[in-house]
Amino acid sequence: MLTVFYILSAITLGTAFLTILSKNPIHSAIYLVLCFFSIAGHYLLFNAQFLAIVHIIVYSGAIMILMLFTIMLMNLNKEDEQNKSVLTRVAAAIALGLVAFILLATFIKAQPVIESYQVSGQDYQSIKVLGKVLLNEYMVPFEFASVLLLVSMIGAVLLSKKEHINS
Amino acid sequence: MEQTIVIEKGIFIVIIFAITMLMAMYATLAERKIAAWLQDRIGPNRAGKGGILQPLADGLKLFAKEEFFPNTPNRFLFIAGPAISMSTALMTSAVIPWGDKLHLFGRDIILQATDINVAMLFIFAVLSIGVYGIMIGGWASNNKFSLMSAMRAASQMISYEVAMGLAIIALVMMTGTLSLREMAAQQSGMNWNVFYQPVGFLIFLVCSFAETNRTPFDLAECEAELIGGYHTEYSSMKMGFYLFAEYASMFISSTILAVLYFGAYNYPGMQWAEENWGVNIANIIGIVVLFAKLCFFIFFYMWVRWTIPRFRYDQLMRLGWQMLIPLAIANIVVTGIVILLTQ
């Protein structure tokens, strides 16, 4: 089990680095897909089948395909690449730091809740239990997440419509 | 105990692999024979008796062809494309229940490689990564027609996956499970899902045509516009893999159709056969019944291919987004209301 974990972690980190370092955007995207697959492998190590498979469907199957799609159509060249100013880099670093901070805070905050679930002895891998917990205890955040998705979808539609009117 | 299970599953997986390959091989022959029959020709009849050795001859020919590489900077991805297509076409068979169980050597052998409780989602995951084979292959060919074809295939598959998923949600609401084994067990006798979910079945059927890239949805290999489609630059067995993957995925999606909507291995009187003739005979008949059902669907795929011409691209997108998806959502709402009323 531990060896599998080390192999998976090596693949995850290696492909994540290659995503950033590779010059060709398509290669980056493909490394990112591999990275997502190895993360799904980590979920499987926790015996979270549902999460692993949904992760593959959503990230590798939908988001990354759309990303590849756009990259392939855009035909990115070296000449088109803009030189980022120092200010953008600093802003990116700060934004990343804040995101990391929030993630860390979430995990620390969630620790007691996770432990209470572990003690309760229920099978939280099964979809039935997961669905009940999600729609009873976490009903409001769940609905907010769906509203968020709806907002972004409407925004996308609006953006494409605006272009149409102008032309 | 652990070791016997590993050996048992290993043998079972090898058998399934062999059967899938054999079915895909002979599906190519069947395709040509049925095409000939529908067009009032004889079809291949030189290799072996009535053309029975034709798939072997085709395979030999493909192996013997020159291995051609286009001028591409991505040789590795060029090779990876067909490999991904082939492996994803074969992966789905892991969760399909081919029969209930056999009683051999004093132990029950379950006729399924693995029974995970998210089997339905597993199939969708494999379907969604199947697009990569075509996209990567088309892009690595370094040919604009291949790339355009790959783009078409990808957008078509993504669009129809949505409708397919929505059609399945109605089915899952009805059966209350995502495990294919339980779904198959619930359809015992003539209690097939197709009688309860006819609209869902139609949507799933149309989407499975799109997912396997079969006519009338094979816009990705539209010769009139795109030369040969995403495999224009491919030759030898790499092209053979793409073609073979299409037949393998046709076999698998026929099986999924039979398992989800047409009662899997169940047949009327299975209970009676099990009591009177024993578990083994009843289940062997069950396997034969499943294969009869899926052979019908394979025939149906070919029948449609040689009957309906290819859609135009805008028609394809309109069918997917403006007809199938609203229909599938309406189907979910109606199913929900009916479940609520009958409970």
Tell me the pLDDT tens digit for each residue of B45-99: 888 787 888 888 888 888 888 887 877 778 888 888 888 888 888 888 888 888 7
The H-assigned helical ranges of chain A are 2-21, 25-45, 49-55, 64-74, 86-120, 127-136, 139-166
pLDDT for position A167: 54
CA dihedral B189→B191→B193→B194, nearest 10 degrees, is 90
Confidence of residue A89 (pLDDT cuts 50, 70, 90): confident
pTM: 0.84
pLDDT for position A48: 79
State which residues form the domain around B151.
59-342
Residue whose tokens read 């078409």: B152
pLDDT for position B111: 74
Is the separation of the CB atoms in B232 and B143 below 8 Å? yes
pLDDT for position A75: 67
B29 in a structural domain: no
8 Å CB contact of A65 and B135: yes
| CB nearest A65 (choices: B117, B118, B154) | B154
pLDDT for position A74: 76
pLDDT tens for each residue of A63-84: 888 888 888 877 666 555 666 7
Question: Measured between alpha carbons, how far is B270 from A162 in angstroms, rounded to an integer?
Answer: 61
Count chain A–chain B contacts defined by CB atoms under 8 A: 57
**A102 Cα to chain B: minimum distance (Å):** 30
Buried b / exposed e over A106-127, threshold 16 CB at 10 Å, is eeeeeeeeeeeeeeeeeeebeb
- What is the sign of the dihedral through the CA atoms of B287, B289, B295 and B297? negative
Is the separation of the CB atoms in B95 and B123 below 8 Å? yes
CA neighbor of A24 nearest in space, from B145, B85, B142: B142
8 Å CB contact of B121 and A54: yes
Q: What would the mean pLDDT of A50-60 be, rounded to a whole number?
A: 87
Instruction: List, as own/partner pairs, every contact residues B17-21 make where C-beta atoms lie below 8 angstroms and the sequence separation is at least 24, other chains included.
Output: B17/B90, B17/B93, B20/B90, B20/B93, B20/B248, B20/B251, B20/B252, B21/B248
| CB nearest A65 (choices: B117, B118, B131) | B131
B299 in a structural domain: yes
CATH topology of domain A1-81: Four Helix Bundle (Hemerythrin (Met), subunit A) (1.20.120)
Question: Measured between alpha carbons, how far is B148 from B62 in angstroms, rounded to an integer?
Answer: 25
Residue in chain B nearest A126 by alpha carbon: B117
B51 in a structural domain: no
pLDDT for position A99: 95
Mean pLDDT value across chain A: 83
pLDDT for position B1: 58
Question: Measured between alpha carbons, how far is B151 from B254 in angstroms, rounded to an integer?
Answer: 25
8 Å CB contact of A127 and B178: yes
pLDDT for position A80: 58
CA neighbor of B84 nearest in space, from B209, B242, B217: B242
Which residues in chain B have Cβ-Cβ distances shorter than 8 Å to A72?
Answer: 135, 139, 147, 150-151
DSSP-assigned beta bridge partners for residue B102: B109
Substitution target in A22, A24, A43, A53 with the highest count of B β-carbons within 10 Å is A53
8 Å CB contact of A127 and B117: yes
pLDDT for position A96: 93
> Which parts of chain B register pLDDT below 70?
1, 106, 222-223
Q: What would the mean pLDDT of A37-58 be, rounded to a whole number?
A: 86
Say yes or no to pLDDT of A164 above 60.
no
B85 in a structural domain: yes
Q: What would the mean pLDDT of A96-118 be, rounded to a whole number?
A: 86
DSSP single-letter state for residue B181:
H
| CB nearest B118 (choices: A62, A69, A127) | A127
Q: What would the mean pLDDT of A4-14 be, rounded to a whole number?
A: 91
Question: Measured between alpha carbons, how far is B172 from B160 in angstroms, rounded to an integer?
Answer: 18
Residues of chain A with pLDDT > 90, as a percent, come to 21
CA neighbor of B244 nearest in space, from B129, B83, B107: B83
Confidence of residue A163 (pLDDT cuts 50, 70, 90): low
**pLDDT greater at residue A83 or residue A161:** A161
**pLDDT greater at residue A101 or residue B155:** A101
